[in-house]
Every structure is written in C-alpha cells, then in structure tokens.
C-alpha cells in the first residue's frame, strides 16, 4: 500500500481539515495534500490541470463552470443516496440491488450496513470541488462554501469516519449495481477497500487528525 497524501503544514482550523478529508477516498494516494484546498498547482497551466479538465469531461460530462455548478448541486442534494433510501418502496431499484445481496458479492458488503450512502455522493462532491478550484472553475470562497455544506450533510448522515468509509464502499457498490455493472463490484472493493482501511488506521491519515 502506497503512502497516504502528504501534509504541507498549513495551519487550517480542524473544521476545514475535516471538509478536505471528505474527499480522502479519492485523494489519499494522489498528490493532493491533506491540508490544501487545491488538488494541484492552482491557477497554473500544468499537465495536472489538463488531466483534471479531461477527467471531469470523461467521467462527468462536465465541460464548463455552469455544468460544474449543476453537478455539484446535484451531488449536494443527493444523487444516489436518495435512490438507496427509496429502495424498499421502489421495486425497480430493489431488483437491481438484489443480485448483489443474494450473490457472491454479498460477502464483500459492510456488515452491519451503514444506514445511508450519503458518503458516496459527498466524497465525489468534495473531490470535484478541489479539482474545480484547481482549474479555476470555483473561487476559494465558493469552494469552502460547498465543502461546509457537504460536511454538514455528512455529519447528519454518518456517525464517524469509520461509518463514512463503509458508506462510501457500499455506495460505490450500489452505484455499480444501479448501472448493472455487476462485474465491477468485486474489483471496486479490492481497489477501494484497502484505501478505506488505511484511512482508518494510518497515523498520518487525515481521518485520524480531525473529527467528522
């Protein structure tokens, strides 16, 4: 397992560190410091910036500031978490999840299951905020405002970082099942499970330096 994200020594308040730590499932092994808003050199035209622009286009279909804001607002309001919460009363959603619950991948699911998968939406939002700030699509004030709202949402749904991490894993599995990408679920746990465990145990983890 590679080393976790570096610390720059920025003297951010603990609540700001917690906001940045929301993105840790994605940034843990990246070059994004745990205590810096930008995911790479802010405002400079670099290979990392070009890669970020292309990644947002490929993964999200986001090409400009307006599309970025629209996607961030959707994630904050709830993109997949509401679908998971409505599963009991929505047979079409339950049918997509059933092969996971009753198949070989069931052994991979967190037990007991987190009460919500809000972490799945929030981790993606926080990662997008950091990337969007880095490529100049969000101001610093806008970025912290989104992250503050995201932290409040995460705290309302999850008890601590341990539950947040488990909910992220469960949410990613639900997302794959919802898109009927069942063959990717085992690989998802194999890739992201060790990261979540390291975030909950490594002394340099931002999750051990702040409170959800």
Mean pLDDT, range 64-92, rounded to an integer: 96
- The answer to whether residues 80 and 97 touch, using CB atoms and an 8 Å cutoff, is no
Q: What pLDDT sits at residue 1?
A: 56
pLDDT surpassing 70 at residue 40: no
How large a percentage of the chain has pLDDT more than 70?
95
Mean pLDDT, range 28-39, rounded to an integer: 85
Mean pLDDT, range 104-129, rounded to an integer: 96
Tens digit of each residue's pLDDT (9 = 90 or more) over 149-208? 999 999 999 999 999 999 999 999 999 999 999 999 999 999 999 999 999 999 999 999
Burial class (CB in 10 A: 0-12, 13-18, 19+), 136: middle
DSSP string, 99-148: HHHTSGGGGGS-SSPPS--HHHHHHHHHHHHHHHHHTTSS-HHHHHHHHH
Rounded Cα distance, 65 and 134, in Å: 12
End-to-end CA distance of the chain: 24
How large a percentage of the chain has pLDDT more than 90?
79
User: Which range (5-9, 13-17, 35-39, 140-144) has the least confidence?
Assistant: 5-9
Other Cβ atoms closer than 10 A to 106: 11
Q: What pLDDT sits at residue 114?
A: 94
Mean pLDDT, range 43-56, rounded to an integer: 71
Mean pLDDT, range 24-38, rounded to an integer: 88
User: Helices (DSSP H) in the chain: which residue ranges?
Assistant: 14-21, 24-27, 47-60, 65-77, 81-85, 91-101, 118-134, 140-157, 161-178, 185-199
Mean pLDDT, range 71-94, rounded to an integer: 96
Of the candidates 195, 200, 158, 206, which has an alpha carbon nearest to the alpha carbon of residue 26?
195
Rounded Cα distance, 149 and 105, in Å: 33
User: Tokens 């993109």 map to which residue?
Assistant: 79
At 59, the pLDDT band (50, 70, 90 cuts) reads confident
pLDDT surpassing 60 at residue 44: no
pLDDT surpassing 70 at residue 42: no
pLDDT surpassing 70 at residue 50: yes
């Amino acid at each position: 397992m590679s080393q976790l994200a570096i610390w720059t020594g920025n003297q951010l308040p603990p609540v700001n560190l917690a906001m940045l730590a929301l993105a840790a499932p994605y940034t843990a092994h990246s070059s994004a410091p745990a205590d810096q808003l930008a995911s790479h050199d802010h405002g400079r035209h670099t290979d990392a910036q070009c890669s970020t622009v292309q990644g947002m286009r490929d993964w999200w279909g986001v090409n400009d500031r307006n599309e970025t804001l629209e996607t961030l607002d959707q994630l904050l309001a709830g993109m997949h978490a509401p679908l998971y919460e409505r599963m009991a009363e929505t047979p079409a959603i339950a049918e997509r999840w059933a092969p996971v619950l009753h198949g070989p991948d069931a052994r991979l699911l967190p037990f007991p299951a987190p009460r919500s998968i809000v972490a799945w939406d929030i981790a993606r939002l926080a990662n997008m905020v950091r990337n969007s700030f880095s490529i100049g699509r969000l101001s610093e004030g806008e970025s912290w405002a989104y992250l503050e709202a995201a932290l409040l949402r995460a705290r309302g749904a999850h008890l601590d970082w341990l539950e947040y991490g488990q909910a992220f894993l469960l949410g990613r599995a639900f997302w794959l099942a919802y898109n009927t990408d069942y063959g990717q679920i085992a690989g998802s746990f194999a890739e992201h499970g060790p990261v979540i465990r390291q975030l909950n145990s490594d002394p340099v983890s931002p999750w051990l330096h702040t409170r959800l």
